[in-house]
Structure 1
Amino acid sequence: MKVFSLALLTLLLAALWIGCQGISFRSAYSKCCYKEMFIRQKIPAFLIRSYQKTPSHCSRKAMQVELLKGKKFCVDPEEGWFQQYQQQQESPSRST
């Protein structure tokens, strides 16, 4: 009985330690976008801080867009306004 109690206590302490470390068993999937996370309306370019493609293991192809205030949204990379934004960001700036 003492061995069982010790094993149970060790397991409980390990679970608490993992929780305190912020480690998640789903951490690999935390950067995926799900249906309810997508935003359909155009985001003004001046509000966008950064964007990145979701990992290949995600079920939906998407771009995660971070706004200046830190909020993150998922955008369909096929959206016309987003493709236009990407082209503007990737094209070299021209001075006249």
Structure 2
Amino acid sequence: MKVSTLALLTLLLAALWTESWGASFRSLYGTCCYKKMFLEKKIPDNRIKSYQETPSHCSHRAVRVETLKGQKFCVDPEKKWFQDYLQRKESNGTST
């Protein structure tokens, strides 16, 4: 009885460990933006709730922008409209 309980406990712990590893792996790359994901249109300032740069391990440098409606888009941080947005935010003394 002890052996089967120990084996069951070991399997359960292994399953929990692999699940947590898989979730962290997915979340690590789930924050990246890929070429086909970029939005080319300007997002109006009053619709932007927040933004966050993608991590350095991603293949494309990008900013993930979240709108007030909860939509998330990838944008090129070098786009003029986004640079203008950042300057306006800085001059207003607000940040995300």
TM-score, normalised relative to structure 2: 0.73
Unmatched tracts of structure 2, length 5 or more: none
Find the aligned partners of 1:82 and 1:57 in 2 and give their Cα distance.
Answer: 22
After superposition, what is the alpha-carbon deviation per residue over 1:6-54, rounded to whole angstroms, capped at 9, x for unaligned? 58x927x85478659x824332111110112110001111100001111
Secondary structure in structure 2 of the residue aligned to 1:25: helix
Aligned length: 88
Q: CA deviation at 1:85?
A: 0.4
Find the aligned partners of 1:38 and 1:78 in 2 and give their Cα distance.
Answer: 12
Alpha-carbon RMSD: 3.0
Runs of 4+ that moved beyond 3 A: 13-20
Identity, in percent, stands at 59
Trace 1:73-92 onto structure 2 (pairs within 5 A): 73-92=73-92
The match for 1:40 is: 40
Find the aligned partners of 2:15 and 2:47 in 1 and give their Cα distance.
Answer: 40
Matched, 1:10 2:11: yes
